[in-house]
Amino acid sequence: MSRFLKRSLLAGFILIIFISLTYAEIIKGKVVGVSDGDTVTLLTEGNKPLKIRLAQIDAPEKKQDFGQKSKQSLSDLIYLKDVTVKVWDVDRYGRIVGQIFYNGLDVNLEQVRRGMAWVYFRYAKDPEYFKAMEIAKSKKIGIWSMPNPIPPWEFRKLNRNDNR
């Protein structure tokens, strides 16, 4: 199969997923994997695995301070639990960007409350998230217990530049 055909099929597949998600704003399933503090794998009711990127937040990278603690926090909240995802978008990597709820708890917001994620200023819309981050900062919870925490987007940029 030619490279062009493979790319065309992949692009078509992503488009189909995007279109179907646009009409199906809610997805239900079980969290079967936690990649880091803001990305999980969801096994849908149809036994289809989907990568879900938590909307409005950005958690520390795995190799960053609090990276493993953030991952553990998210795992403690929802690993092997049935959740509901309110779909916001599909990112450039084909992951669903969404807001995860478990028993009425906004899991994305809870990660911010626990000091395990930043509000992702570039994409956040809900003022509740900004308020939660300010409270976590003032109480020096999680990432805010460090003197000068580096936001993940800056950490990624620094590492990209170091690897050149």
7 is catalytic: no
Residue type, 19: I
Burial bucket for residue 148 (CB in 10 Å: 0-12, 13-18, 19+): exposed
Q: What is the DSSP string of 81-113?
A: -EEEEEEEEE-TTSPEEEEEEETTEEHHHHHHH
Q: 102 near 81, Cβ under 8 Å?
A: yes
Among 25, 53, 122, 154, the active-site one is: 53
92 is catalytic: no
Among 7, 25, 92, 95, the active-site one is: 95
164 is catalytic: no
User: Beta strand pairing status for 96-102 and 57-58?
Assistant: unpaired
Among 3, 25, 45, 61, the active-site one is: 61
Q: Which residues are catalytic?
A: 53, 61, 95
